[in-house]
C-alpha cells in the first residue's frame, strides 16, 4: 500500500529549479528573497498533509507528523544553495523527505508509530557570511555566538541585522536546542559531491561519518638574497623546504589509508623574480574519519616540515587555523542504511564524507545519525553542472524511504 512516488520528487526538483534558478544555476542563498520563495514552495507541497509546521528560533523549518510515541525520527536537508549552485544539493534531501512523509501519512492514516519530523535547516552553506551549518549548529548548541555576531557580508551587513530582516532574533537562536529533545534518530540523504560512487559504478552508499579536519598555516623562514650573486650552496631558501612539503603530503595521505591532505595556498616574500625566497607560507588542510589517524597525519607533517627546514638551513613555524573532530555516525543506523541500499539496488558501499553536513552537528548533539549518498555525475557540486542520473534519483528516494521505515522500527525497540 505504499504511495511512494520517486518520480514526483524529480518533478518537484525541476519545478523548484524553474522557480528559484536561472541559467547560471540555483540562487537560493539563505535569508534572501529567492530562498523565501523556495520555502513558500516547500510549504505549498505539504499543504494537504496533517503536519504541524513552525520556524524555530534560528529559522529552521520543522514539519511534524505526530505519532503514537513522542520519540521522533528526524529527516533533514537544506533548501538554501550557494550562488550559481546545483539543482540537487540540499533540496533533494528535503523533497525526498516530503515524499516519505506522504508515504508514512498514507500508510499509517496520519498516525505513525513514532513522530516523524522533517527539518529544513537554515543557511547550511554559509554562502553569504562565510560560516556554514548556521541553523544546525545553533540547534546542537555549538554555534560560536561571539564569532557569529561579528560576521559581515560583502556589503558590510552584519549577520544579526540580516537575520532581523527575516524575523530572527540573533541573541535567541540557540533557544532551538529544545527541538532535539525527543530526537531518537536523524537521517539525511545527500548527493555525494565527489567521484567515489561514480568510479565504483554504484548508485548509492552508506556514509560512515564526516571527516575530522586539521587546518594549519606553515611558514618557512629563510633569508632573502640576490639571485645572481648567491651560490646555490649558500642559500637559505624558504621555498625549497615548502616545495619538499608539497610532495611529502601525498606520502602522508597514502600512509594514512583514507585520509586526504591539501596544500591550498602558497605565498612567498619578497616574491620577486631576482630574490631567493625569504618567507614561504603554506596552508595545509588534513582530513580523516579516524581521530588517531588524523593526529598521526598532523604529527607526520610537522616532523617532515622540521626535517626539511633543518636540511635547508631555514626555520619553520606552525599556526592552527581551524580544527574539528571526526564525527562518526551510528553503527546500527549505518547497518540499516547499508541494508536499505542492498534491498533497493543489490550492491552497497560504505564511505566517509569529506564535506561537512548538518548531520555532523546533529550527531555532535548526541542524536544517533546516518547519511545516505547518491552518486554525483562528474563528481562535481556547487556548480550548475552538478547532476545525478534520474534513475539514481529514483533509487535514492526508494532506498531512503526503506531506511526511514527501518529507523522507525529501530526507534520503537
Point out which residues bind Zn ion (CB under 5 A). Answer: 89-90
Q: Shortest gap between Cβ of 56 and Zn ion (angstroms)? A: 19
HSE toward the beta carbon, residue 196, CA cutoff 13 A: 18
For Zn ion, the closer of residues 56 and 358 by Cβ is 358
Least distance in angstroms from the C-beta of 176 to Zn ion: 20
Q: Which is nearer to Zn ion, 127 or 411 (CB)?
A: 127
Grid cell, residue 320, equals 592552527
Q: Which is nearer to Zn ion, 88 or 242 (CB)?
A: 88
252 vs 356, beta carbon nearer Zn ion: 356
Q: Provide the minimum distance between the beta carbon of 90 and Zn ion in the complex, in angstroms, as a whole number.
A: 4
Least separation, in Å, of the C-beta of 9 and Zn ion? 16
Q: Which residues, 6+ apart, have CB-to-CB distance to 60 below 8 Å?
A: 119, 120, 121, 122, 135, 136, 139, 176, 179
Task: Give the residue with the Cβ less far from Zn ion, 93 or 305.
Answer: 93
Nearer to Zn ion, 82 or 294 (CB): 82
User: Which residue's CB atom is positioned nearest to Zn ion?
Assistant: 90
- Min dist. Cβ of residue 392 to Zn ion (A): 17
CB of 356 to Zn ion, least distance (A): 9
Amino acid at each position: 500500500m505504499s504511495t511512494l512516488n520517486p518520480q514526483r520528487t524529480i518533478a518537484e526538483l525541476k519545478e523548484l529549479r524553474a522557480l528559484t534558478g536561472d541559467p547560471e544555476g540555483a540562487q537560493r542563498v539563505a535569508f534572501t528573497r529567492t530562498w523565501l520563495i523556495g520555502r513558500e514552495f516547500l510549504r505549498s507541497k505539504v499543504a494537504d498533509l496533517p503536519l504541524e509546521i513552525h520556524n524555530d528560533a534560528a529559522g529552521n523549518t520543522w514539519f511534524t507528523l505526530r505519532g503514537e510515541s513522542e520519540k521522533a525520527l528526524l529527516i533533514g536537508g537544506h533548501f538554501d544553495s550557494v550562488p550559481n549552485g546545483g539543482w540537487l544539493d540540499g533540496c533533494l534531501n528535503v523533497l525526498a523527505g516530503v515524499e516519505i512523509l506522504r508515504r508514512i501519512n498514507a500508510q499509517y492514516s496520519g498516525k505513525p508509530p513514532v513522530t516523524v519530523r522533517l527539518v529544513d535547516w537554515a543557511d547550511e552553506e554559509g554562502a553569504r557570511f562565510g560560516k556554514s551549518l548556521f541553523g544546525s549548529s545553533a540547534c546542537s548548541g555549538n554555534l560560536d555566538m561571539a564569532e557569529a555576531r561579528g560576521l559581515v557580508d560583502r556589503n558590510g551587513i552584519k549577520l544579526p541585522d540580516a537575520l532581523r530582516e527575516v524575523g530572527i532574533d540573533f541573541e535567541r537562536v540557540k533557544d532551538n536546542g529544545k527541538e532535539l529533545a525527543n530526537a531518537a534518530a536523524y537521517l539525511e540523504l545527500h548527493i555525494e559531491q565527489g567521484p567515489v560512487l561514480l568510479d565504483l559504478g554504484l548508485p548509492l552508499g552508506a556514509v560512515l561519518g564526516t571527516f575530522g579536519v586539521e587546518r594549519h598555516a606553515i611558514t618557512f623562514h629563510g633569508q632573502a638574497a640576490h639571485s645572481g650573486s648567491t651560490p646555490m650552496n649558500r642559500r637559505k631558501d624558504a621555498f625549497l623546504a615548502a616545495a619538499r612539503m608539497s610532495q611529502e603530503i601525498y606520502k602522508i595521505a597514502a600512509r594514512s589509508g583514507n585520509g586526504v591532505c591539501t596544500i591550498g595556498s602558497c605565498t612567498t616574500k619578497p616574491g620577486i623574480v631576482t630574490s631567493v625566497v625569504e618567507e614561504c607560507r603554506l596552508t595545509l588542510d588534513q582530513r580523516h574519519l579516524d581521530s588517531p589517524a588524523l593526529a598521526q597525519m598532523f604529527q607526520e607533517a610537522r616532523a617532515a616540515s622540521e626535517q626539511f627546514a633543518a636540511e635547508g638551513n631555514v626555520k619553520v613555524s606552525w599556526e592552527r587555523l581551524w580544527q574539528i573532530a571526526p564525527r562518526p555516525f551510528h553503527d546500527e543506523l549505518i547497518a540499516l542504511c547499508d541494508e536499505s541500499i542492498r534491498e533497493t539496488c543489490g550492491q552497497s558501499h560504505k564511505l566517509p564524507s569529506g564535506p561537512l553536513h548538518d548531520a555532523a552537528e546533529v550527531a555532535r548533539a548526541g542524536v544517533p545519525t546516518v547519511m545516505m549518498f547518491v552518486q554525483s555525475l562528474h563528481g562535481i557540486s556547487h556548480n550548475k553542472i552538478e547532476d545525478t542520473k534520474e534513475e539514481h534519483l529514483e533509487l535514492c528516494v526508494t532506498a531512503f524511504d526503506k531506511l526511514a521505515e527501518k529507523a522507525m522500527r529501530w526507534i520503537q525497540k
